[in-house]
Amino acid sequence: MKKNLILAVSCMTFVAAFASCGGGTKKAENNADATAETAKTEKAGPEYKVLDNQQVDLSEFKTDKDGYIVIFDGKEMKGWRGYGKEGIPGKWTVDNGAIKFNGSGGGEAQDAEGGDLIFAHKFKNFELEMEWKVSKGGNSGIFYLAQEVESVNPENGETRLEPIYISAPEYQVLDNENHPDAKLGKDNNRQSASLYDMIPAVPQNAKPFGEWNKAKIMVYKGTVVHGQNDTNVLEYHLWTPQWTDMLQASKFSKDKWPLAFELLNNVGGADREGYIGLQDHGDDVWFRNIRIKVLD
């Protein structure tokens, strides 16, 4: 009798333990699935695609005595086109040996005849030089390593062209004395020749509106240097933890602008190359003597 009781209790204990283990396994599997799904969702960033448009042949452009390729000869805009467009928007013209954007005074509210301008060839390691001037209160910029990006609406699959500045660092072009952006940002990091909204140009040696300034941008294996009027004014390094930290502290942070953060954190994409761009910010601006030396 005692032996049978012990056997019954043992069997009941085994059954309870088995049920408990079975239930625990199932619960653990459900938790694992949920965790995996959460990780998958968190890992999936904004949906977008980089356009792979035809590039111009650099061999068709003159190389000067200093080894620079002249990408604007002062006469015609060969090789240039609108960002995300096939032709040159009507507000970009050649004016007395310079590329001019004829502003509307509407700020960043671009219209059909405006929009940013790019040179249709992707560069990787290079030295870019040009001169620029702005009208009173003028604002513009020089982009580099830019991509043409379309975002994808996950609900209906529709695409839209994203602005150039969410994929490209910007060399600020500005009338520091008369445009309010000069007083915004942090530590003057929106003034002329600054890495826009991230690193200020020091010293700040821009000339007043209506006068020509020299701009120089060097990109070599992640090291970037901005020069203004024959003086190097800042240096930084792409694809580093410090670069990511700078983005996180800017208007392009992961929380504020996840698509911009993802694209800028991986500037130049897998090939680490991109377009040179000139910004339509709604104000009159001129660019001339544009040349580039390939450092690959």
Tokens 């301008």 belong to which residue? 117
Measure the CA–CA gap between 186 and 165, rounded to whole angstroms: 19
pLDDT score for 42: 44
pLDDT at 244: 97
The answer, yes or no, to whether the previous bond of 203 is cis (omega within 30 of 0) is yes
Query: How many other CB atoms are there within 10 angstroms of residue 125's CB atom?
Result: 16
**Eight-class DSSP state of 152:** E
Look at residues 288, 293, 296 and name the one whose alpha carbon lies nearest to residue 133.
288
Tokens (6 digits) for 266: 């991986």
Report yes or no: 214 and 131 within 8 Å, Cβ to Cβ.
yes
Residue with the two structure tokens 């968190």: 42
Amino acid 155: pLDDT: 83
The pLDDT assigned to 110 comes to 63
The predicted model scores a pTM of: 0.83
225: its two tokens:
């240097």
pLDDT at residue 108, rounded to an integer: 62
pLDDT along the chain (296 residues), means of 10: 41 41 47 44 67 96 97 97 96 97 71 90 98 97 98 87 97 96 93 97 98 98 98 98 95 94 96 97 96 95
Assigned token pair, 130: 């040009």
The answer to whether 126 and 218 are in contact (CB under 8 A) is: yes
Phi, psi (degrees; rounded to nearest 5) at 244: -60, -40
In this predicted structure, what is the pLDDT of residue 157? 82
pLDDT value of residue 154: 82
How many CA atoms, within 13 angstroms, populate the side-chain half-sphere of residue 55?
Answer: 14
* Side chain identity, residue 154: P
Half-sphere exposure of 119 (CA within 13 A, CB side): 26
CA distance 170 to 126: 16
107 Rama sector, left if φ>0, alpha if ψ -120 to 50, beta otherwise: left
Alpha-carbon gap, residue 282 to 85, rounded angstroms: 18
